[in-house]
Structure 1
């Protein structure tokens, strides 16, 4: 909100400098974002009147003007402005004046000069040349009664400062000059000038019928008929000036009056052209499909959640937001209806944003506007209408005031001990009561407790914490002690058997992956296709229509990252993410770290696409495959040894997907993207994916000392034949189980042989395969003999035959 300092000081004028005034407001929570002078520095510019304007003898577009600046002689000044004419009063820079700096940053000094052979003893100025605006269409025309020779800075009150306040949503009561003055009076103790609202004489009994059909939209509606006004009257210069300094341009006198009272008292109002209203007005909720052309030229369609004012024919305005074009006042207006209402904040909040615009009225009503003073504010508007647009025939009707549902004040209790604890300094009951009374609050004190009944304009005072904040503001934040908080510090040590999140991320980076961070809300299609989730958790208010559900898998986010990189011609992509997923789980309780009914586990997922290694000369380029991803999972989990079993996953190839198990417990999946999704995403090659439970990945065994073997180990190779359906995991489990805690040091598969299709006479059937396994045997007690070795190998073969049906080849 922007306003001039001089207007604020008319209501409250404490003995403070401009900077001290700004600091006082800022430290009280009314942040002064900027202060700047109304006009840049200049001097030697006075009010002058053009007495003679003759054509320049040597230039078609110049005039030689004789200007009266209140001195003994007229000044001869050459001027090229199109509106330079006899009789107008304009700013005149006399010889020796300094105008605001130009583009070079240097002040412009006025000297006697010649223009096309004619001497010029000064300069007639536009608003742009004085730095008052960007208007350069002609001279700045002043009022006809402007005193000749008066310094233009004094005449236009340019020794003023513009304040720009950045107010939080709970400070709706300060969205006016009087509201800020009320706060300033409470902060400084300076007297507050209360505006007077004299009642206008009523000469007619005319009333406009108004029917309030939605008390949950409008709690109070007041209005008055005024007849025979002059809409062509000139808005006074003082009002135009104040509106401009509030950032509002002058439109027409009736509109200017409504805007002026809004900035002055915080009361948005509307003035209807009475003759354009059919019958009476109805205040109600909109109906689906109804349309309204607004004052800004937009045509909007309303529904049953948008408040409107309508006559018997059509909609006339959006309630509390903007008036309609059909009943707007114009130069032909003769009779008007002045409206001031109280709209419930929750009925106005967010409505204008649906139509992609914002208004000063909506900004105030959605924060709360005082419902108690609609009549007084109509009297203020009427006073200005009579003074500016009144004619000898102007007459006023009585004020029609309807109050179907006024807000009831709810007392709020403040505990002095609680306030002292929250604020962090000792406070007495008298201090708290005094601070609240200075704000104009009704206070009733008991032992250690203060009960406050908020005034009608303080919609933000609902909780004890609100009153504590008011006490702290008035006492002064700068007076709070700067003591370091004291608290019990209990170190939380991570178990040695659990890796940190950063260690896992560093391990992924060491494997050649780059970390990404993505939104937790994703497209619903990703959930259905890549996670098989037909009932995802939906967002009530998504930031975008395509990001409407919470993710239950990280794979969709990584696929989107891949697609974005491929669009930018990336040939090799390796990315990972550590993040939460969101699942429905009725067993989850409500706590400070969880939401009832929803599980939020952390997972780690990765995607590898393109060549398996960066381009280099020493080997042929090869696309990444399932075993590359599997190897990365094994490296990530090392020294733990995960197991892999064939499985299916909605996002992965049905024949190239494995479930990852750690200690027999599933912890995720690894595999190749399903061909269907590869085609729908338009990918030249299939990426490899894995997604694991992050808590399981963080497991890390505590190192245990094992002495280096002093005796020589022995290696034996065996070739066995098994059925095609026997997995590598089954073979390894059977072999290790045969010599559990015995001589077997390692068991490694190093060759797989399958017969060629159609071959005959082979010892291996078509549904069988041959596996070559290297056994490493070692004893810490004695050197192994041939008998020990043969016995161990036979035990392994017997176990393989028993558990997998293997036979020695």
Structure 2
């Protein structure tokens, strides 16, 4: 379990200036196996800011695509407000996009110092950054393009929460609660003798018209199953940066708004969730064991032959997911304008069914191993 210190501080008021190493020592004394403390942003110095691409000139006389860009960085460019001219080899951004720019005098992780220099026959006054160059992921396919609402000159170090510490905890089988921020926060609060702000202490609405019909055939395999419908979803909406960064620090890849929210809740309070595209469901959700020889294509595109012990989520067509393990491909959240073999061309998910359930842990463990 990877626990960002900045996230942990939301639940426990740690002493000002308390380091990840100090928290590590406290948690080890409490019996948790904190293997490492990773310092994010080490070696990163500014100015690192949001920029807006004003113009792009394609330089075609070179062996690979090169672009000469004019970028508005607000007043960060020496306080003059003048656009910066920057050479860039990536092509996944356009005029008007918001990007992350490191200006001359800055330094990226790994000791990569930035200065104004002549390259490809032009003077480049900084660099437009990718995810990998910023040290926030392994994606090096192109430039990090930000949502449009951020103004040029905004401090990108603060926006992207680049400076942090992450505790890496090896969770033993008898400490399953430590697979959530809530569980680790509780241990931290006890270790420091401080109050805990429990993120699970919420007023839960009573059953209402936004429920979704559920039929559980195997009560031994599933003793509680709750489903809610979320309507009016904007299929174009993306997860906010703060949520994406928390998932990344915790070791998860942001995928889409619906999937990111379910992963975030699982990390925060330890309750796994699953989201279905309501338009792809046919009738009530059911829970039963697999029939001999029954098959299911899971989210990873693999057709799996099921075992009679496997606990399934079903609708009227048959299996749509392996309970507590992996969803099925036929009910996943649709991205805008995705071609679906059942529905044809779909515009993206606008109604979501969210599942929260408690399954027999032994059955889930056996299915997961298989």
Q: TM-score, normalised by structure 2?
A: 0.86
Indicate whether 1:92 and 2:101 are aligned: yes
Aligned to 1:427: none
Aligned to 1:37: 39
Per-residue deviation, 1:272:
1.9
Aligned to 1:328: 332
CA shift in 2, pair 1:51/1:184, >3 Å: same
Aligned counterparts, 1:402-413, within 5 A: none
Per-residue deviation, 1:44:
2.4
Distance in 2 between residues matched to 1:200 and 1:118, nearest whole Å: 61
Aligned to 1:54: 57
Aligned to 1:197: 202
Determine if contact 1:179/1:265 at 8 Å carries over to the other structure: yes
Aligned to 2:228: 224
> Quick one: which of 264, 270, 275 aligns to 1:266?
270
> Quick one: which of 21, 24, 27 aligns to 1:25?
27
Aligned counterparts, 1:237-386, within 5 A: 237-331=241-335, 332-354=348-370
Distance in 1 between residues matched to 2:230 and 2:271, nearest whole Å: 19
Indicate whether 1:4 and 2:4 are aligned: yes
Per-residue deviation, 1:147:
4.1
Distance in 1 between residues matched to 2:90 and 2:216, nearest whole Å: 55
SS of 1:67's equivalent in the other structure is strand
Aligned to 1:176: 180
CA shift in 2, pair 1:298/1:116, >3 Å: closer
> Quick one: which of 115, 121, 127 aligns to 1:117?
121
Determine if contact 2:20/2:166 at 8 Å carries over to the other structure: no
Per-residue deviation, 1:206:
5.6
Distance in 2 between residues matched to 1:70 and 1:116, nearest whole Å: 26
Structure with the higher fraction of residues in strand conformation = 2
CA shift in 2, pair 1:151/1:334, >3 Å: closer
> Quick one: which of 107, 123, 131 aligns to 2:135?
131
Distance in 1 between residues matched to 2:59 and 2:279, nearest whole Å: 52
SS of 1:229's equivalent in the other structure is coil
Per-residue deviation, 1:199:
5.0
The structure with more radius of gyration = 1
Determine if contact 2:229/2:353 at 8 Å carries over to the other structure: yes
Per-residue deviation, 1:56:
4.1
Aligned counterparts, 1:433-472, within 5 A: none
CA shift in 2, pair 1:334/1:141, >3 Å: closer
Aligned counterparts, 1:523-534, within 5 A: none
Per-residue deviation, 1:40:
3.6
RMSD: 2.3
Aligned to 2:13: 13
Determine if contact 1:58/1:116 at 8 Å carries over to the other structure: no
Determine if contact 1:49/1:148 at 8 Å carries over to the other structure: yes
CA shift in 2, pair 1:348/1:62, >3 Å: closer
Distance in 2 between residues matched to 1:125 and 1:23, nearest whole Å: 36
Distance in 2 between residues matched to 1:232 and 1:180, nearest whole Å: 34
Distance in 1 between residues matched to 2:290 and 2:88, nearest whole Å: 57
Per-residue deviation, 1:200:
6.0
CA shift in 2, pair 1:339/1:89, >3 Å: same
Distance in 2 between residues matched to 1:308 and 1:146, nearest whole Å: 44
Distance in 2 between residues matched to 1:228 and 1:5, nearest whole Å: 35
Determine if contact 2:161/2:245 at 8 Å carries over to the other structure: no
Determine if contact 1:110/1:123 at 8 Å carries over to the other structure: yes
Distance in 2 between residues matched to 1:129 and 1:281, nearest whole Å: 44
Mark the runs of 5 or more structure 2 residues left unpaired by the alignment. Answer: 336-347
Distance in 2 between residues matched to 1:292 and 1:266, nearest whole Å: 27
Per-residue deviation, 1:81:
2.2
CA shift in 2, pair 1:206/1:149, >3 Å: closer
Distance in 2 between residues matched to 1:145 and 1:321, nearest whole Å: 37
SS of 1:305's equivalent in the other structure is coil
Distance in 2 between residues matched to 1:351 and 1:265, nearest whole Å: 24
Distance in 1 between residues matched to 2:292 and 2:134, nearest whole Å: 52
Determine if contact 2:215/2:285 at 8 Å carries over to the other structure: yes
CA shift in 2, pair 1:206/1:49, >3 Å: closer
Instruction: Figure out how many residues of one structure are paired with residues of the other and give that number.
Output: 348
Higher relative contact order (CA 8 A, sep 6+): 2
Per-residue deviation, 1:207:
4.4
Indicate whether 1:167 and 2:171 are aligned: yes
SS of 2:133's equivalent in the other structure is coil
Determine if contact 2:213/2:227 at 8 Å carries over to the other structure: no
Mark the runs of 5 or more structure 1 residues left unpaired by the alignment. Answer: 102-106, 355-809
Per-residue deviation, 1:317:
1.5
Deviations 1:35-81 (A, max 9, x none): 11223412123212222323448658333322222222222222232
SS of 2:105's equivalent in the other structure is strand
Per-residue deviation, 1:181:
0.4
CA shift in 2, pair 1:189/1:147, >3 Å: farther
Indicate whether 1:210 and 2:214 are aligned: yes
Distance in 2 between residues matched to 1:110 and 1:328, nearest whole Å: 43
Aligned to 2:343: none
Deviations 1:336-367 (A, max 9, x none): 2211111122332322111xxxxxxxxxxxxx
Aligned to 2:88: 79
CA shift in 2, pair 1:295/1:61, >3 Å: closer
Indicate whether 1:140 and 2:144 are aligned: yes
SS of 1:315's equivalent in the other structure is strand
Per-residue deviation, 1:192:
0.9
Distance in 2 between residues matched to 1:124 and 1:163, nearest whole Å: 30
Per-residue deviation, 1:90:
2.0
CA shift in 2, pair 1:29/1:54, >3 Å: same
Deviations 1:642-665 (A, max 9, x none): xxxxxxxxxxxxxxxxxxxxxxxx
Distance in 1 between residues matched to 2:210 and 2:140, nearest whole Å: 47
CA shift in 2, pair 1:216/1:333, >3 Å: same
CA shift in 2, pair 1:201/1:136, >3 Å: same
CA shift in 2, pair 1:189/1:268, >3 Å: same
Determine if contact 2:160/2:241 at 8 Å carries over to the other structure: no
Determine if contact 1:231/1:254 at 8 Å carries over to the other structure: no
